[in-house]
């Protein structure tokens, strides 16, 4: 085993310019043979091991509202999809989800929703502090979109530990093809930098194979992630939704998401990197491939069963089986089968671990 190769790749990614990154991505996508990709994934696995050992962290995902004021062209719950079923959980229902998650062993809860203005700062802070009162040793992650710096400050003060906000694409022109004019990349980036400055563990990220994505925009994504240095990165394949303008657009080839995951693992060795539901949806062995490419987080769904199908971001989104909290034993077995270790601790980023 070539010991310094993982380090070499990390060093290259840390300093490469856009042209060099583009060439690397093009090579991996178009020319690399199975052996080359196997080696890339091995290096990513080695890098993960150096940061977190063999641990794969479990997070309980609660999708608490499908209302959204935004109109992201790719997303099934965007506001102009009249056919989307809308639901909103109450504070008590959210806390009940946490309680069942806690009993199953989860020590991180990820609260995700559309941009639902019902959840004012006051309401959200009440929910976060309610969870923290009942489960003080648990981490709370929010993923509720773009808000003001003041709002992020208040949510942090209420006890929120982490925040996920994918940047979606770091390229202005590409961003404008995926979103209406009132949604601006500049504001997304502002949010991410605010969150970081305020002390959150921050997650950025993107869909692999989103419409109009190119090797060039991917190279820009790598450079953006390198500048931001997020603690988490949400990277999953684009999957079309039938009620969007991108209904006829394809998902990327199965190898593309693992390639990007492994590059991001080597770029940010300590990043917390989920093997996403979208990856498991798009390829029946997707989650395993993600974990073998350097991912180290899984997020089983704790949303009440009757609402799961309504958080429909893309077609055929998995919410049952090993994607669901009820299927934990299957998921644990799968992880152990890969030589990895299911871990139910809070799973903070290495720079945030106490002691
Ligand atoms: N509203 C919050 C936000 O904007 O961050 C959180 C919810 S949003 C629906 C979560 C993520 O779903 C988005 O960042 C996007 O990358 C992903 N998503 C939406 N539509 C998708 C699609 N068609 N395929 C794959 N992922 C999708």
CATH code where residue 335 lies: 3.20.20.70
Residue 113 placed within a domain: yes
Residue 28 placed within a domain: yes
pLDDT reported for residue 125: 98
Per-residue pLDDT of the chain (355 residues), as tens digits, is 455 898 999 999 999 999 999 999 999 999 999 999 999 999 999 999 999 999 999 999 999 999 999 999 999 999 999 999 999 999 999 999 999 999 999 999 999 999 999 999 999 999 999 999 999 999 999 999 999 999 999 999 999 999 999 999 999 999 999 999 999 999 999 999 999 999 999 999 999 999 999 999 999 999 999 999 999 999 999 999 999 999 999 999 999 999 999 999 999 999 999 999 999 999 999 999 999 999 999 999 999 989 998 999 998 888 777 777 778 999 999 999 999 999 999 999 999 987 5
| DSSP string for 212-229 | T--HHHHHHHHHHHHHH-
- Does the annotation place 68 within a ligand binding site? yes
Q: How many domains is the chain built from?
A: 1
68-95: string of b/e by CB count within 10 Å (b at 16+)? Answer: bebebbbbbbbbebeebeebebeeeebb
CA of 111 to the centre of ligand 1 (A): 13
Say if CB 264 and CB 258 are below 8 A apart: no
Residue 353 placed within a domain: no
Atom of ligand 1 nearest to the CA of 311: 9
Backbone dihedral region of 145: left (phi > 0), alpha (psi from -120 to 50 degrees) or beta?
left
Rounded Cα distance between 21 and 11, Å, is 12
Edge-to-edge strand list for the sheet holding 341-343: 297-298, 55-58, 341-343
- From 63, 64, 74, the mutation candidate for ligand 1 (largest count of ligand atoms within 8 A of CB) is 74
Q: For residue 312, which of 114, 107, 61 has the smallest C-alpha distance?
A: 114
Residue 224 placed within a domain: yes
Q: Which residues are registered as beta bridge partners of 112? A: 63, 143
Which stretch of DSSP H or E encloses residue 266?
A: helix 256-267
Q: Using a 6 Å CB cutoff, which residues line ligand 1? A: 74-75, 112, 114-115, 143-145, 165-166, 168, 207, 236, 238-239, 241, 278, 313-314
Residue 352 placed within a domain: no
Residue 354 placed within a domain: no
Rounded Cα distance between 219 and 21, Å, is 5
Atom of ligand 1 nearest to the CA of 77: 9
Residue 346 placed within a domain: no
Kindly report the pTM of this predicted structure. Answer: 0.97
Structural domain containing residue 42: 2-341
- From 151, 180, 257, 313, the mutation candidate for ligand 1 (largest count of ligand atoms within 8 A of CB) is 313
pLDDT reported for residue 1: 42
Q: Which residues are registered as beta bridge partners of 30? A: none
Residue 158 placed within a domain: yes
Measured in degrees and rounded to the nearest 5, phi and psi for residue 57 equal: -85, 140
């Amino acid at each position: 085993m070539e010991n310094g190769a993982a380090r070499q790749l990390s060093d290259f990614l840390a300093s490469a310019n856009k042209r060099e990154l583009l060439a690397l991505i093009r090579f991996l996508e178009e020319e690399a043979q199975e052996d080359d990709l196997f080696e890339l994934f091995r290096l990513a696995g080695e890098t993960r091991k150096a940061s977190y050992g063999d641990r794969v962290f479990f997070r309980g995902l609660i999708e608490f509202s499908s209302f959204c004021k935004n109109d992201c062209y790719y997303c099934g719950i965007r506001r102009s999809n009249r056919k989307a079923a809308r639901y909103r959980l109450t504070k008590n229902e959210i806390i009940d989800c946490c309680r069942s998650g806690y009993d199953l062993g989860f020590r991180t809860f990820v609260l995700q929703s559309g941009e639902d203005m019902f959840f004012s700062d006051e309401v959200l802070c009440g929910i976060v502090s309610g969870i923290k009162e009942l489960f003080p040793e648990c981490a709370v992650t929010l993923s509720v979109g773009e808000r003001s710096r003041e709002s992020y400050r208040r949510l942090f003060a209420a006890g929120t530990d982490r925040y996920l906000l994918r940047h979606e694409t770091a390229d202005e022109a590409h961003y404008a093809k995926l979103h209406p004019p009132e949604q601006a990349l500049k504001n997304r980036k502002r949010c991410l930098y605010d969150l970081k400055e305020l002390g959150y563990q921050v997650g950025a990220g993107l869909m692999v194979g989103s419409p109009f994505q190119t090797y060039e925009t991917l190279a820009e994504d790598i450079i953006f992630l390198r500048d931001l240095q997020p603690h988490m990165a949400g990277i999953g394949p684009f999957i079309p939704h039938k009620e969007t303008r991108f209904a006829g657009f394809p998902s990327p080839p199965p190898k593309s998401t693992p390639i990007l995951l492994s590059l991001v693992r080597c770029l940010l060795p300590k990043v917390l990197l989920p093997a996403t539901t979208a990856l498991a949806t798009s390829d029946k062995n997707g989650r395993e491939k993600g974990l073998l490419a350097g991912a180290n987080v899984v997020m089983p769904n704790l949303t009440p069963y009757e609402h799961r199908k309504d958080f429909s971001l893309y077609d055929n989104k998995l919410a049952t089986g090993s994607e669901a909290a009820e299927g934990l034993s299957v998921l644990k077995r799968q992880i152990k089968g890969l030589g990895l270790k299911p871990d139910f601790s809070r799973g903070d980023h290495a720079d945030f671990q106490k002691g």
